[in-house]
Amino acid sequence: MDKIFFNKMAFYAYHGAFSEENRLGQRFFVDLELMIDLKPAAAGDDLSRTVDYGKVYETVQQEVKGKTYALVETLAERIAEQLLHAFPLEEVMVRVTKPDPPIPGHYDSVGVEIRRGRS
């Protein structure tokens, strides 16, 4: 299956299980893989046969910045649901990364990755 990808879309939002996260906010990165047959779009050089990247970004931004969730798992699920609803995708991979979570230890980041398809 062909794939459109978005790497490290950056947002400042207020998701988290701790009240400080909801009050102060933090950075979030979102990566996407959108599985779609790109051959018809490429053959006709036709945007209407693929997805508008700007609209994908807006959809993700609205979900990340428009609501607050305790879990990044929930955020990832909602992003996947919105993308599958709004665009003719076969499957979507959503990765949500928190580079600065309020947990002790040494690490680069934490996050979740989910794959969802049409049922």
Hey, which residues are catalytic here?
98
Residue whose token pair is 């989910």? 114
What angle (nearest 5°) sits at the alpha carbon of residue 113, between those of residues 2 and 24?
130
Give 31's contacts (C-beta < 8 A, 6+ positions apart). 5, 6, 7, 8, 9, 93, 94, 95, 97
Nearest CA among 12, 36, 65, 108 for reference residue 79? 65
